[in-house]
Structure formats: structure tokens, C-alpha cells
Amino acid sequence: MANTAHTSQADLKKSNQSFLLPVDQDNSSLTQLVKTYLPKREIDKVWEAYRFSEKAHSGQKRRSGEAYISHPVSVACIAARFHLDSQSIQAALLHDVVEDTESTELEIESKFGKQVSTLVIGLSKLDKVEFQDANEAQAENFRKMLLAMTQDVRVMLIKLSDRLHNMQTIQSLDESKKIRIAQETVDIYAPIANRLGLNNLYQELEDLCFEVLHPVRYKTIQKAIKASRGNRKEVIEKISNEISNKLKSVKTKAEITGREKNPASIHRKMLEDQTGFNQINDIYAFRIIVNDINDCYLTLGTLHSLYNPIPGKFKDYIAIPKANGYQSLHSTLLGPFGVPVEIQIRTKNMHQLAEAGVAAHWLYKTKDAHVTDLQQKTNQWLKRMLDIQNDSSNSLEFLEHLKVDLFPDEVYVFSPDGKIFALPKNSSSIDFAYAVHSDVGNKAVSAKINQILVPLRTRLSTGDHVEIITSTLAKPNPTWLNFVITGKARSQIRNYLRSAESKDLIFLGEKMLNNALNAFHIHPTAIKKKHWNKLILDYHVESKDEILMDIALGKKVNVMVAHQLTNLMDGLASNKKQTKMLDVITIKGSDGMAIQLANCCHPIPGDPILGYINKEKGLVIHTHDCQIVNELSLDHDRWVDVEWEPDSEKLFNVRLSVLVVNERGMLGKIASIIADAESNINNVSLQDMDGSPFATLNFLVQVRHRQHLAELIRNLRKITKVNKITRVKNYKN
């Protein structure tokens, strides 16, 4: 027979908040909580930590006027409701001691052991480190916490308990601080709670933030929920009884609980569906807990025979769990009076994991398959965070990647060997490539989705079978950053581009320095390591490479660096004079990121050219007659002489404007001539002249050199009704 939990209004409220209700701020509450699962010897250690914390915080007050010790005790109570171990509860009691009192890390370690000390250190802020601004400090604190969490996930479980209590008591703070803390919580901490499977904590944090950030909307929705309860009571009781009786008829044992959606989730649904409160029919839902997986599917079939399922509203998170380990069957049915009824069906173990997430590990301490799977998923996510932080150039970039990774709304795709990958919604094939392995992403050239060849920017859908085609010659493209979604892909691409750009800049800087040394009649090999070491000290930089990159970016003048190096050489011409002009720098047009061909004039081999040192882009090549040359002519130190390397087989972009008689077939004729000339069209656009029989076709074509371009233009002029062809320079986007 089915066991039914009747859904009174008190039950509905309790079901949402029973796990994380605000705690009584005294040590007796904590004692009662830990007594339920810790042995006496561990409880004694918790008491020892309490006494130490109480003494350390003696005389300190919270903003609300309460004794400060009330905060760590409350945090410990929340952590105890997760059934965290003794070391975690001790760390929760001590988490502010190092930061806010005279106590030291060594003192904590000597009294409570290495584990507790490590947890406390992981929770402490970096107040002693100087940062440029508050954003950088916040980002570095998150980075430090995430790194600590990769070593021990308990760090984050305690931190989330700390943040929950801060949000529960936030009303005593001033308005600007409340908004800042609430925004930080909804951006980072609530998503982390969701990612770790802490469903109740996630929902409460979300509601508390919603109340602070949108107080009027929160009150309005709360009021609407209360007003609707009386109207819905009869429907809810009827549905509950019908579900119970139907399950009894098939002899399925089940616990049925009605639950009320929280205001933040209702608000989110209103925004997603662009609808009002009255159109949100599934404010109440039913959770059905059964004995095993077979009963889950049997219950689903039974309820589908009771009420008609709504198409597209079924999700099987048992067969394919969410990335945070959550498992359940979800279905929306059309109940009595035409009311949509949302149901969730799960086993008892699944329910425990849904409520306590990764913290359930500390409760069960078993080899349960669900727990093992959840821990494995959590460890994979933590490892991914570690990879992202290693690939990020600074803490702010790491925080950006972390935020991207915390809002998955996932799609599930299959690799060629049948492995399932959970990726954020709107992920592209290249996101999948980096999810498989960073080397696969770096060498990707295209993809096959369901056996069909597609570009790497193609978005993925649940159920897709994805195969990445790689090449040893391939490398990441900067344009990928425009469409990748995952933090891992973004950080790997940026890291590769930084590395490639650095190599190119070092190469260019060395070329420019050697040019200057030759002008002083000094062979570059005459400059020894000791001379470089002295120059590195004089410039207060980390390495020789940093000096060379500064030369390439125009931050240091090559002649001045060469002069200083010669002065450092023992017995060499500190009095030598420059006796010849600097050599020109030879370029191929494919020297990497440190040398770029300007988009304004699109220089090609055969054009007279000049190089301009841009502090952000490196050496940018312009034609002599480019307008930019005139605009920047006074900036003499940044211009360098350059020349083309002979016999380059590379193709170069050039812009052509072709004035034609506007009639059918003209574009085809021109395209055919361009193809016959062994050129390539990169882009074409039409500029129609209102009321005129003429039109202008703007081409971006590729040629090998100036002679190749001249030959192409001659052939185009042979087409009847082509009136004028102009090479476009001084182009502006």
C-alpha cells in the first residue's frame, strides 16, 4: 500500500525549508545536532574548538549587536545538518579565528591537528595581500577557495554554510553592502551549491538573494502565493488522493509529498515564459519516493495512465543524471480541472543525494554506487576547475571562466565510443573537443555530428553523436572565442594564444635587437648571459624574453637596449659609434601574431611598405601611401623599415571595388574570372545605387603579389559592362 504524507500548508512550507531553517545561535543546538551522528570522543573535540573560538572572539560583536561567537556556532550547526565529520565542525567553529583574532595558523594546527588547520586556512581570506582593486581581491579569494576545494571539498561545504548564515542575517548591513553580497552569492555561491547537488541550500540562497536584490518582486510573488493557496487547496488534495489511490491499486509503496515552488524559481519561470503569475500553473508539485529504480518507472507508467502527460515535458535524469549527480524522473501531467501537475519520482537514496548532494558522502560513508558516481562527477568538475585556473593568466580571468562553467543548463552528447558528455546549453563542437581533451581541441579542424560533416562552431543538441576530426598541423583560432561556451575551452584557447603570441613577439624583438646590434658592429653572440643578467636587474624584469617582447611592442627602443648591452660588455666599445644605418626587417607575411598586415590598406608583396610598432598588436605593416602613415608620421620612434621576403607563395588579402552595369549574371562572370586567375574570394558585398543602372561590387580577394593582382585586374577589365576597377586602401570598418 502507498504511504501518503498529507499536504497541509504547514507541510508545504516545511518541505522547502526543513533542512536549513535558521538555527538557534547557541551551543546547545549544536550539541543536539552532533549527538545524532558523532561519537562522544569527537563531540569532545567539537566542544574544545567551541571553547577556543569563544575565548578568541571574546568581546567581539556582529553588526547586529550579537556576540560574534553566535556566527561560527550557527555555521557549525548548518554544517552539522549536512552530517559533516568532526574536523569540519571544528573548522566551522574556528573559520574566522585566524582572520579576525590574534590566533595563528600554527596555534590552530598544534591544538586541533593538520586537517582542521588546512580547512581553516582554505577558508581564510587574503587580507594581508595587496590588490589593485576590490574585484581583483574577490577574484583571488575565489581562486584560493576553489584550489582548496580541489584538495578537500569540505572547504566549500563549510564556506557555503558560512554564506548561508551571512545571508540569513544580512538585514543588519547597509543597503550597498547587502546588494554586493547578495549579487556575489547569486553569481557564485548559489551556482556552486547547485553544482555540488546541495538542492535545499541552493534554493534557500537563491530566495534570500532574490529578496535582497528584488524586494518588491519578492513581496509581490510571496503575496500571490499566499493568496493562491486557498484557491488551490481543493485541487491539491484531490490530486494527492487520486495519485495515492492509483498507486495503491498497483501495490506500489510510495511516500507522496506536495511541495511549493520557491519565489525565485517562480520568478525565473515567469521571465523565461514571459508570462504573469496567474499563468504559472505548476506552482505546486508532487515528489514521489519509492523503493527502487524499477518502482520509479512503474510509478511513471501508472501516473501516465491516470493523467495524460504533456508532450515535451518528460525528463529521465535516472538514465542520464545531471552533472551534479542528481537523479529523478520528471514529468508534467494534465490533471483534473486542466491543471498541469509536475511530478518527480525517485528512490530514497536519490532523494538523499538530491537534498544533500556531495555532502551525502559524509553521511553514508559507504560504497553506494550513486554516491561513488556523484563523487566521481564532483572530482571531474574540480579537476576541470584546476585546469582552468592553470590556464588563466590572472584571478579575474579565472573568475570569468568559473562563472561561465557554473550555469550549465546542460545538453548530453555521445562520443564515438558511446561515452556521455554533459555540456552547457549552446555548446559548440569545439567545446566538446576540449571536453574530450585539450590536445583534441587544439588540433581540431572540423566535426561530424550524427555522421554529417559540420563546422566547429555548430551547436550541439541532446542525443547528438559527435566525432572531432583533428590534424597535427592545426592550431586554435582566435575566432573560436566568439562561439565557445565552456570555461575550459575558453581558458585553453586563451592560454594557447598567449603562448603563441609570446613566442612571436620574442622572435620579432630578437630580430629588431640583432638589427640594432649589427649597426654597432656587435655580433649578437658576443652578448653573454652575464650581460643579460645585469640588464634584467637594471630593468627590474623577470627574464630576457620580457625585454625582447617589450622591444617588439615598442615599449623599449631596440637601439637603446643594444647601446646598454654594449656598455655592459667588458673591454668592448662602450665608446663605439654607430657607423651604419639599421638593416631593414624582412617579412614573409606569415610571421605569426607579432607581425600583422594592416586591414586598412591590405599590403601585398610588391607594395612599398613600412612597419609600425603597436603596443598591443606588435609590428603592423602598412603601405607607404596608407592614410595611417600620414596620421602617425610624427611618431618617428615607432616606424621601422621593412621589406618583403622574395618568392613568397602565401596568398594575401586585397580589397577591390568593381563598378558594373547592374544586370543578371554579372557576379557570376566576375567570380569565374577570379577563379580562373587562381585567386580566391574571401568576401563579397553589393552596393546598389538607387535609381542608377550601375552597382558596386566590393570584393576581398586573395593574390600572391602585386603582379598577380595586376594580371587579375586586366582580366576583369575584359568583361563587358565592367566600367571601373579600383584597389581600395584606407578602408575603415
Residues with catalytic roles: 99-100
Contact 648, 668 (CB under 8 A): no
Contact 343, 315 (CB under 8 A): no
Contact 329, 347 (CB under 8 A): no
Phi, psi of 377 (to 5 degrees): -65, -40
Contact 350, 324 (CB under 8 A): no
Cα(389)–Cα(441) distance, integer angstroms:
18
Query: Side chain identity at 614, as an amino acid letter?
Result: N
Question: Which cell numbers hold the place of 137?
Answer: 581581491
- Reference 713, options 556, 604, 582; nearest CA is 604
Contact 591, 648 (CB under 8 A): no
Question: Which cell numbers hold the place of 540?
Answer: 627590474
User: Strand pairing of 255-260 and 284-290?
Assistant: antiparallel
Contact 519, 581 (CB under 8 A): yes
Give, rounded to a whole angstrom, the gap between the first and last alpha carbons of the chain: 73
- Reference 199, options 381, 32, 421, 374; nearest CA is 374
Residues in Cβ contact with 170 at an 8 Å cutoff, skipping those fewer than 6 apart: 178, 181, 182, 208, 212
Residues in Cβ contact with 22 at an 8 Å cutoff, skipping those fewer than 6 apart: 74, 168
Residues in Cβ contact with 599 at an 8 Å cutoff, skipping those fewer than 6 apart: 731, 733
Cα(43)–Cα(90) distance, integer angstroms:
10
Cα(623)–Cα(129) distance, integer angstroms:
49
Strand partners, 284: 260
Cα(185)–Cα(167) distance, integer angstroms:
9
User: Strand pairing of 452-454 and 284-290?
Assistant: unpaired
Cα(176)–Cα(160) distance, integer angstroms:
22
Contact 97, 53 (CB under 8 A): yes
Contact 182, 208 (CB under 8 A): yes
Reduced to 3 states, what is the DSSP secondary structure of residue 322?
coil
Contact 303, 331 (CB under 8 A): yes
Contact 82, 33 (CB under 8 A): no
Q: In three state form, how does the secondary structure of 477-538 look?
A: CHHHHHCCCCHHHHHHHHHHHHHHHHHHHHHHHHHHHHHHHHHCCCCHHHCCHHHHHHHHHH
Rg of the chain on CA atoms, in Å: 34
Cα(677)–Cα(239) distance, integer angstroms:
75
The burial class, CB within 10 Å (0-12 / 13-18 / 19+), for 191 is buried
Contact 402, 388 (CB under 8 A): yes
Cα(94)–Cα(111) distance, integer angstroms:
12
Q: Which spans in 185-308 are helix H? A: 190-195, 199-213, 215-249, 263-273, 293-306
Phi, psi of 417 (to 5 degrees): -90, 10
Question: Which cell numbers hold the place of 424?
Answer: 552547457
The burial class, CB within 10 Å (0-12 / 13-18 / 19+), for 600 is buried
